[in-house]
Amino acid sequence: MKAPAVLQALIEDAVIDRVVNQLQSGKEAEVYVVACGDEMRCAKVYKSSEHRSFKQVATYREGRRARGSRDRRASGKRTSHGVKVQESQWKTAEIEALYRLADAGVRVPRPYGIYDGVLLMELVQQDDGTPANRLNDIEMSAAQACEWHALMIRQITLMLCAGIIHGDLSEFNVLLGPDGPVIIDLPQAVDAAGNNNAFRMLERDVNNMRATFARAAPELAQTEFAKEIWDLYEAGDLQPDSVLSGQHRRIEQAADVDAVMEQIDEARYEAEARALGREDAASSE
């Protein structure tokens, strides 16, 4: 196929050899299969903000820091430089998340770098070499659903241990490779420690996976992994191999009745003393 201008520039720079075909056109990017020598890879070309339909970008951007002081000041503004900084942050967030997650053992496509705003990464393939299907295109048995759900909960846990929440995880951005699910699409990845919406996004990611797999294995609909994982994270106890039950048990301390009654008695004595003081003052007038 004819290469888009941004990919033609990469061909001229010998970063890629040719564009094979367009694989996907999504809400924030277009993805192409490209040849690099004998290897097939993905080239992700991000859409500019005016053509991108991803909503509430500011919510996801919270906690990210621009590198230079001028960029940090500009990143929150709608000046031309501010928009440029925001676009750069959006594009580089995914490559940074991919490297970080790959190092943490999370099942994500292997990144190869970003060139002129184009992300090059591994093409997740099926056994026959064709691009892997998305999870929403797969019919699964109850046993497969339980197995893949457990794997995805483990991946979400690994991500959080690395300080990252996907933020938009659903059946549409999970590919099914030969060895099981692979997580894709991370430009909106959330800094778990720096974003006030972190738990809400984690809970949505976990519950999206629960809803997807519960269609084949209804018993999964009763699980509550999000709160369990977050409680461990907040307590500093979450580990990649943490044993999870899927049942959230809220720790409630029994009321100390004696202490409560003691406080009530003290308040009553103080009130009586104030009343007697007022009576004494009135009688002396």
Tens digit of each residue's pLDDT (9 = 90 or more) over 218-276: 999 999 999 999 999 999 999 999 999 998 765 444 445 666 566 666 666 566 666 66
Q: What is the pLDDT of residues 26-41, one digit of tens each?
A: 878 999 999 999 999 9
Structure confidence at residue 89 as a pLDDT band (50, 70, 90): confident
Per-residue pLDDT, 228: 96
Write down the pLDDT at residue 93.
Answer: 86
Per-residue confidence (pLDDT) for residue 253, from 0 to 100:
44
pTM given for the model: 0.76
* Non-local CB neighbours of 159 within 8 Å, separated by 6+ positions: 101, 104, 106, 165, 166, 183
**CA 143 to CA 127: how far, in whole Å?**
21
How far apart, in whole angstroms, are the C-alpha atoms of residue 135 and residue 177?
10
* pLDDT at residue 48, rounded to an integer: 75
pLDDT attached to residue 276: 63
70-99 burial, b for 16+ CB within 10 Å, e for fewer? ebeebbeeeeeebbebbbebbbbbbbbbbe
* CA 188 and chain centroid, separation: 7
Domain range for 219: 5-234
CB-side neighbour CA atoms (13 Å) of 239: 4
- CB-based contact 185:168 (threshold 8 Å): yes
> pLDDT digits over 177-233, tens only?
999 999 999 999 999 999 999 999 999 999 999 999 999 999 999 999 999 999 999
| pLDDT digit string, tens, across residues 104-138 | 999 999 999 999 889 999 999 999 999 999 999 99
Could you tell me if residue 48 is inside a domain? yes
Which two structure tokens, joined as six digits, stand for 272?
Answer: 């009586």
Question: What digits encode the pLDDT tens for the residues 143-175?
Answer: 999 999 999 999 999 999 999 999 999 999 999
* Structural domain total, the chain: 1
In a domain, 277, yes or no: no
> What is the four-CA torsion angle of 271, 272, 273, 279, rounded to 10 degrees?
110
List the beta bridge partners of residue 16: none
Indicate whether 120 belongs to any domain: yes
Q: How far apart are CA 89 and CA 103, in angstroms?
A: 21
Query: CB–CB of 62/194 below 8 Å?
Result: yes
Which pair of tokens denotes residue 63? 């906690």
Residue 99 in this model has a pLDDT that exceeds 70: yes
34-61: per-residue pLDDT in tens?
Answer: 999 999 999 999 987 654 444 555 554 5
Q: Where residue 64 sits, what CATH number does that domain have?
A: 1.10.510.10
**Token pair belonging to 56:** 């509430």
Is residue 126 included in any domain, yes or no?
yes
